[in-house]
Amino acid sequence: MLDARAMLAKLDLTEAEIDVYLMVLKGVQSAREIISATTRSRPTVYYALTALERRGLITRSGNSEEYRYQAEPLTRLKAILQAQEDTLAITRTQLEEFMAIQQEGDRQPQVVFYEGLQAVRGVILESLYCRSGKIDSIVPSDNFFWQLGSDFVDQYTELNYTLGISTRNLWDKSIKKGGSEEYYRKTETRILPDSMRDKFNTTVFIYDDLVLNILPRASGYAFVVRSREHSEMMRVFYETLWGLGKSY
């Protein structure tokens, strides 16, 4: 028999959040009723409600005198699980890089491959934790992000904005927007020269001393070149293309 509490605990909900969430799932809508039903203190219940709302599991309506709470679709739990898997993938890629550095020496150029959907997602999200806080990208119109779906676009752009990453984008051609509008207000975007249109399908990120190459989803892998000399050369190419690009 399914132990709902144990399952929710694995999604990093606290005991108080589990109590409150299960009450809302049963149709209990007010904080006062939840306090009475769970015997939890008022501050604890309100803190749990705020945490659940922040995670997208519940929504509130009404006025501040007595908000009414309602559970969001249970598919939101899958989103939390996906975020955990992405975090694990990031940790895995960091471990792989650490091991490669220890084995080859930090000064030696390195090429690290990431195969499989979760590994590719992980190394993309990890790029947002770059030391410089700056990413230059070259993006084809039919790229990994859109092939994967708007949910990943939303996750990436929201995290990008939250971390305050300064981003320049060179697009193959105009691409439909997705994710946080705040992200697009903080980025610079130009369109590549017409001669490059539809000529490539690899997305390239340049940051720190790394160049991340993301192949289409069908290929199922990405690779990172760690080399100060290579990244400097790629930046020269990038600045040239940026100067030739058209404002978006």
Per-residue pLDDT of the chain (248 residues; tens, 9 = 90+): 678 888 888 888 889 898 999 998 998 888 889 888 888 888 888 898 988 988 888 888 887 668 888 888 888 888 888 888 888 888 888 887 777 666 655 567 788 899 888 888 888 989 988 889 999 999 888 888 878 777 788 888 888 887 888 899 999 876 665 554 555 666 788 999 888 888 888 999 999 999 999 998 888 889 999 998 999 999 999 999 999 988 87
| Rounded Cα distance, 49 and 19, in Å | 10
| Rounded Cα distance, 230 and 225, in Å | 8
| Rounded Cα distance, 34 and 44, in Å | 11
Question: H or E stretch including 86?
Answer: helix 75-104
Report DSSP state, residue 57. S
Residue 173 is predicted with a pLDDT of: 77
Residue 141 is predicted with a pLDDT of: 82
Burial 11-38 (b: 16+ CB within 10 A, else e): bebeebbbbbbbbbeeebbebeebbeeb
What pTM was estimated for this model as a whole? 0.59
For 134-171, write each residue's pLDDT tens digit. Answer: 999 998 888 888 787 777 888 888 888 878 888 999 99
Residue 162 is predicted with a pLDDT of: 79
| Rounded Cα distance, 196 and 191, in Å | 10
Token code pair at residue 110: 């390195």
Residue 180 is predicted with a pLDDT of: 47
Residue 145 is predicted with a pLDDT of: 81
DSSP-derived pairing of the beta strands 221-226 and 110-115: antiparallel
Residue whose C-alpha is closest to residue 89's, from 167, 152, 9: 152
| Rounded Cα distance, 173 and 180, in Å | 20
Reduced to 3 DSSP states, what percent helix, strand and coil does the chain have, rounded to the nearest 5? 50, 20, 30
Percent of all residues in the chain with a pLDDT value above 70, rounded to a whole number: 90
